[in-house]
Structure 1
């Protein structure tokens, strides 16, 4: 038969010559007290350990995120430097920075791979950015602007916006008006009478008038030594001395001057030397 647990214990403490002390207590209360005395410190320690682990995990995650962000920034700066080098080549200048000013990613390196702290990566990015900015604004941008202006002055394309064919190329050709050969200083394009003729680069109208050989013709000075000629026009649409943009109509196709039929004679000059327009049609 199972023993019953007393509902209450009474403890008498007597001392000689003094009134006895009586203590009453319940077994359950004592058990709970003992449990709490043991469990509470354990819970507290567990909470502290969990908090420490959680904080370290969050810190690790944050460091990983910062490292990725710094790496992305450096990669973008490397891409930017590649673009700057491309612009330097296009502008006709070379990268003349001393070796000490080379970005971190381009310094000679090697050895065993080791993880780099985010702070180091951000410092590298901060050091690289002023170099790229100085190169871009200090020499690349001004040189590139000049290059773009020079490229814009270069004649480009066919002076007609309709489908056409070349009836006479640049160079030696049979004389269309008699015996022998002559040197043709341009390209002749076939077209219908009155077809609009467009200038192939921006510039200043140098000549807009009549000539026995070219008939109604227009000469445009584009700068940087480039000039173009549009001859045998039925009508001229521009006047001498005005600035015009690329693709401005300068006149209309005709057969004036020394011409055997409706066509456009187109010439390109560079530093007063007539050159083959074929290289400028694209």
Structure 2
């Protein structure tokens, strides 16, 4: 069977695409705007169905990257193409307090509702705080000053290795044993953000400083790519997580047969983004 991985240039989609290919599966990757020579097909999930029909030929399983906008046409085309199962990458923002009824949560819930109404078989993945968020959010300041700026550093999260998310998705796309309606994926333990920074420092071989930001400072220093309403909701969720252990599940080990990898394992293998400016 052929598996379609949407968002194959992304952090998780790219990992999944490579993993499936390494395991010998027939896999087709797509991106919103295909570039010559990268082997990906062009597919905008919110575009007219003709584009979807081309990408879905011969496909029996789909990894669905979350899209902003209506995906009903794509899902209808998937059903007509004979797709048997969809694995949707969602977010705990779809159900968590302070997020489920805000912009990010509503966007994820809209895709989930469309998938549920499509009649397709599906499993929704809810991965916890991705270890790669550390590189996205902290690499610049760690490399230049050895400092991490955080609001609510005592908030507890459960970092998950992105390779574990890809491994779970691969099992669900290629086998039937764990195709539940939803799978909540976490790393092996709850950690305060301050502890995450310390573990990153240990992997880098140097002590990192935490600069605690007020809510106002965090909003003032908001990255240009992050909408203010989304950041506001994330800050509310972080404040609510102060002193509250993050949930831990055994889903990664139950589905893949191996324990979930720690944040430290990810950090030890991904030092380069943090060392570029040092």
**TM-score, normalised on structure 2?**
0.23
Rg comparison, structure with higher value: 1
Q: Kindly indicate whether structure 1 or structure 2 has the higher relative contact order, using CA contacts under 8 Å at least 6 residues apart.
A: 2
Which structure has more strand as a fraction of its residues?
A: 1
**TM-score, normalised on structure 1?**
0.23
Which structure has more helix as a fraction of its residues?
A: 2
